[in-house]
Amino acid sequence: MAAPSPPSRDRIVVGVSGGVDSAVAALLLKRAGHDVHALFMSNWDEDDAYCTAAADFQDARRSCERLGIPLHRVSFAAEYRERVFAAFLAEQRAGRTPNPDVACNREIKFGACLAHARRLGAGAFATGHYARRGDGVDGPHLLKARDLAKDQSYFLHAIERPALAATRFPLGELTKPEVRALARGAGLEVHDKPDSTGICFIGERPFREFLAGWLQPQPGPIETPDGRVIGEHRGVAFYTLGQRGGLEIGGRAGFADAPWYVASKDASRNALVVVQGHDHPLLLSSALVTGPAHWLVDPPHGPFDAQVKVRYRQADQAARIEPLDGGGLRVRFERPQRAVTPGQSCVLYCGARCLGGAVIDAVRPLAAAHGAGEAA
């Protein structure tokens, strides 16, 4: 193995994906006079019709050739399966709905990938995320992007503070149209490449199709809140709270001709509880409890007010935050929130600054549901 390159304050390694955002991040850093290297990482080692890694690498190669910067390639597939995917499957089996992109950022992109960038002699690591980083007397700040419609701070809240201090977000002040215009002006072929969507290892394939390859179906009853069985599900792991499609209930005698929604999952009984009405009280929560919080600020010692997001792209919601023994949080919403989902992340903000966040463990519904978990 070659010896690591000596660190350089001017060398910045950019994590590139083959898309327009990371290519423009590299473009901006080069124009700023930095010694820019690119690093393409692969986290999934299955080659099928849904995997675009090979085509994405070729796009990254052409962009780097156009920019005149070196391109390195590394696989973190083993680390990804151990640190991200194994936990994802465990959470799914438990009937929760995890967010593997949060774990991927913490463990892989700003963990293993950042360490590799340092071995390449980088003084800093950059990505094409839409977020901003500031510096204060209390250390680095994670801030929302100027383009709030593209802001990705929600997915970045769990990275370690030393990693944040070593990271740059060149796109933080830009909108997506501005990024595409810069790419077009620089002659980058990816200027009109569509954005990738979905979880990184699933790609564009249907979620349940992918999950069925890893988890065995465990059929069980679909019930109304009063315990009436109106259907059969494939396994609680294949559904999420608030879900409407894929229930295959159809019309039922004695019930209104209205859509059904998943209100709760009782993994202990392998039962799915459903209700009718988009804003049924069983879909609304007044509070939640989390597991241990990860802080990007000095942890507060008492209750405080903040804005929270319980899902990506959600508008900020006012809440009262109470630290609990053991490091968890109790979050009481100013207004009830719909389909708050255990396994997802509750992320805290003060204005533009991300304070940190935690995984949702339990919720308090407005109405008691048969088999529904409740926050303490």
pLDDT band at 370 (very low <50, low <70, confident <90, very high): very low
Q: How is residue 193 annotated by DSSP?
A: P
DSSP assignment of 348-376 equals EEETTEEEEEEEEEEEEESS--TT-----
SS3 category, 254: coil
pLDDT in tens, 61-80: 999 999 999 999 999 999 99
Number of H helices and number of E strands within the chain? 10, 18
pLDDT score of 372: 47
Q: Where are the domains of the chain?
A: 9-192, 216-276, 282-365
Its CATH class, for the domain covering 9-192, is alpha beta
Q: What is the pLDDT of residue 205?
A: 64
What are 89-115's pLDDT values in tens digits? 999 999 999 999 999 999 999 999 999
pLDDT at 368 over 90: no
CA distance 321 to 318: 10
CA 150 to chain centre: 13
Residue 104 falls in the annotated catalytic set:
yes
Mean pLDDT of 256-264: 91
Q: The whole model's pTM is what?
A: 0.91
CA–CA gap between residue 223 and residue 83 (Å, rounded)? 35
Question: DSSP assignment, residue 299?
Answer: P
The answer on pLDDT for 202 being more than 80 is: no
pLDDT at 55 exceeding the cut of 90: no
Q: How many CA atoms lie within 13 A of 253 on its CB side?
A: 0
Q: For residue range 341-364, list pLDDT tens digits in order.
A: 999 999 999 999 999 999 999 999
Report the CATH fold assignment for 282-365.
Elongation Factor Tu (Ef-tu); domain 3 (2.40.30)
Residues 40-51 pLDDT 10s = 998 877 655 556
The one catalytic residue among 51, 64, 113, 200 = 200
Average pLDDT over residues 277-284: 93
CA–CA separation, 134 vs 245, rounded Å? 42
Q: Say yes or no to pLDDT of 301 above 50.
A: yes
Is 350 among the residues known to form the active site? no
Mean pLDDT for the chain overall: 91
Distance CA 114, CA 346 (A): 25
Q: Which two tokens stand for residue 179?
A: 């990024």
- Active-site residue, from 64, 104, 113, 346: 104
From 237-251, 270-284, 307-321, 352-366, the region with the lowest mean pLDDT:
237-251
CA torsion sign, 107 to 108 to 112 to 114?
A: negative
Among 2.70.98.20, 3.40.50.720, 2.30.30.280, 1.20.58.220, name the CATH number for the domain at 216-276: 2.30.30.280
